[in-house]
Structure 1
Amino acid sequence: MGMIGGGPGAFIGPIHRIAAELDREIELVAGVFSSDSGRSRQAAVDYAIDPERGYPDLATMFSAERQRDDGMDFVCVVTPNHNHLPSVRAALEAGYPVISDKPMTATLAEAKELAATVGQAGRPYALTFTYTGYPLVREMRERIAAGALGGLRKVVVEYPQGWLAGEAEGKQAEWRVDPARAGAGGCIGDIGVHAFNLAEFVTGQRVSQVFPDLAAVVPGRKLDDDCTVLLRFENGMRGVLLASQIEVGELNGLRIRVYGESGGMVWHQETPNTVTWHKIDGKTELLRAGDSSLGPAATSVTRTPGGHPEGYLEAFANLYRDFAALLRGQDAPMLPGLDEGMRSMLFIDTSVSANAEQAGWTQLPRQERISA
């Protein structure tokens, strides 16, 4: 694996590296870790790989790696949003499959460009919507699809954080509040898009309309840091999406609640090894990671016996395991890709535009399902 981004001081680069290598199917061997050649080389040292494979730019990396017998097989992109399009496009055009951090790009126009590039390149492309990798999220999806809740009526998905309640200080904060690097959406593009993706992934239903209320609460901030979006789904289900980065004291409290005719299910990212299943007869059942009652969607991505918690890194690793399967020519039906990427960008763009225009209920552009 080669990495684009993830240099000194980065948060998500080391996460990708740990996740990719967890199952010993993938090894980080090269990268353009920074636009500064010295920092790129230093990152290679920090990652314990050959310093000569900490390259100064993409062209040099692609050229050098193609000439090696042990050259990289694919690329992961872990840069700020504004670099997603040029980085992914360059890798695909050089003949390398790509797995990228979300969102797909900084803008919808860029996403459409990238979708065309993916189609032309004919190489695998995937996105790390991390929470789709949790075993019990996949179990929820399978049980709901099998009718465990009956006809679906309501979904509430919440993603509260508090780390941007004050001044945006530090490398990780600064680019997220900068329209030139983050794109059109702030909070909605950073974490709201995770909530949107999770709602569609778990329910198996697509959002058809949105009614957004986005705000830049911190004085002087140019991008939204607090979001409320009402949702209508194609099957008639209603929903609410709440995402905020100014809720003081909140850490990473992603939670989804799905309600149907005969019950409801709840999953919380901060306690990820349990799903609470409320039934219409008043009984409540707990589904726990590692339980023998779970189906193959969950058990195939569970590494430890029940009571041995698995979390964020393992969920991330499950996406890399899926991607490795894809590169071997196997199916990876739960791995997010071009379809989920375009859906997420349509959600961000439509919500930002509708909010600016105070348009009320707004149709989410219809998109046929696509694959990389």
Structure 2
Amino acid sequence: MGRRVLRLGMAGGGEGAFIGAIHRAAAALDGEWRLVAGAFSSDSERNRRSGEGLGVDAARTYASFDAMLAGENALPPEERIDAVTIVTPNHLHTPMSIAALEAGFHVFCEKPMALNLAEGRAIAAAVRGTGRHYGLAFTYSGYPLVEEARARVARGDLGAIRLVQVEYSQGWLSRAIDRDGNKQAEWRTDPARAGLGGCLGDIGTHAFQLAEHVSGLRVDHLCADLTTHVEGRRLDDDVSVLLRFGGGARGVLRASQVAAGDENGLKLRVHGEHGGLEWAQMEPNTLTLRWLDRPAEIVRAGGPGLADTVAVRMRTPAGHPEGYIEAFANLYRAFASRLRDSAATGASAPGSADWFPSIEEGVRNMAFVETVISNAGSDNKWSQLLVD
């Protein structure tokens, strides 16, 4: 018998939603998933049109998320969905995740996982209690050359790590478009729907996860500054954080959504005793290595000399660019691999074919957000990042 295509249900992501379409394209890319059900919008007509446009059976285009869970569980096991993907605004992530897990479904969720650390811990408890798998859309860790960078650090090519610098620079919120009818901007700057952090929660969490993932280190203390440049905005739009990692490495994290003219400038630099590496999301098929004692190297996706763990993340020959959707698809493919392995327990090691950002990364990110906000609002120079 051939490999079974897994069945997916979607919460949110209806007509006009950007990230829902990205998730659907990524999930479908490798033939691992088929979208068969959804509760795409709280607006009944938009929900109906969304399901129809996506080719979802009208009987499985549900009026609400709870109706989807109940309706799917009423179907025979060989027909019901295997997992739910949640692409709603942040305030719905926790109740939907917990409800889906407790209904017996695996969950793949947009980041950040929750509004706060307490909610993140509640999701983690539900994952442990149900034995279901939980994945997070920290997309950039799915890029092949991010895996190459991680593998080189892990095998000691750079020597002991001393410096980690990560920057995520956007300019799309430089003006008050959140008060001018832009739906994507409006909910992301609303504390009730976005959570405690604005730029911090939206893209600062990506930068934090990438820095820890590639360096293999964990932040234990930080010193932060949060700013809101656009008058009247209720959440931060600019973030600066000094990082202290376990083992003595130091770091800097910068995230901004008011860097006028910048597009999606996620960049990472890691330096050790012997050299450093640099990767940028807007040129994702190139990894630059610089050394103390020899010429710099340019490593290209699909080229020679890559780690074995990179090959499973590539689909095309060298010189055929792969990008954002392919990186996203790597996470969906890994999630599918884990679900098919009924013996899998806990988390896989980074680099393995079934590794994806999971509950640990989610909870650490919520702890990061809360520690940054607490530190920035206090007179403390340094605050300890406590997860448990």
Superposition TM-score, scaled by structure 1 size: 0.96
Q: What is the CA-CA distance between 1:366 and the residue it aligns to?
A: 4.9
Give the residue type in structure 2 aligned to 1:223.
L
In structure 2, the residue matched to 1:304 is 316
Match of 2:266 in 1: 254
From 43, 48, 58, the equivalent of 1:51 is 58
Paired residues of 2:86 and 2:110 also in contact (CA < 8 A): yes
Counterpart mapping for 1:214-363 below 5 A? 214-329=226-341, 332-333=348-349, 334-363=355-384
Q: Distance in 1 between matches of 2:371 and 2:67?
A: 38
- Matched AA of 1:114: I
Moved segments of 4+, more than 6 Å: none
Asked if 2 retains the 8 angstrom alpha-carbon contact of 1:37 and 1:55, the reply is no
Task: Look up the SS of the partner of 1:191 in the other structure.
Answer: helix
User: Which residue does the alignment assign to 2:5?
Assistant: none
Tell me the equivalent position of 1:86: 95
> Which position in structure 2 is the counterpart of 1:133?
142
Query: For 1:6, which of 8, 13, 33 is the aligned residue?
Result: 13
- Aligned match of 2:47: 40
1:161 pairs with one of 170, 188, 191: 170
Runs of 5+ unmatched residues, structure 1: 368-372
One of 221, 230, 233 as aligned partner of 1:209: 221
Q: CA deviation at 1:332?
A: 4.7
Q: Is the 8 A contact 1:208 1:366 kept in 2?
A: no
* Unpaired segments ≥5 residues, structure 2: 1-7, 350-354
CA apart distance, 1:36: 2.2
Q: Size of the alignment, in residue pairs?
A: 367
Secondary structure of the 1:103 match is coil
Does the CA contact (< 8 Å) of 1:323 and 1:332 recur in 2? no
Match of 1:20 in 2: 27
Residue number among 175, 178, 193 corresponding to 1:181 in the alignment: 193
RMSD: 1.2
Give the 3-state SS of the residue equivalent to 2:284 in structure 1.
strand
Residue type at the aligned position of 1:107: N
* CA distance in structure 2 between the partners assigned to 1:113 and 1:178 by the alignment: 22
Q: Write the distance in 1 (CA, Å) between the matches of 2:210 and 2:237.
A: 20
| C-alpha distance in 1 between matches for 2:25 and 2:160 | 40
User: Counterpart in 1 of 2:204?
Assistant: 192
Alignment match of 1:77 (pick from 80, 86, 105):
86
Paired AA for residue 362 in structure 1: S
* Structure-2 separation of matches of 1:354 and 1:244: 18
Q: AA paired with 1:272?
A: P
Task: Verify the 8 A CA contact 2:367 2:387 in the aligned structure 1.
Answer: no
Is 287-296 or 177-186 further displaced after alignment? 287-296
Q: Per-residue deviation at 1:226?
A: 0.2
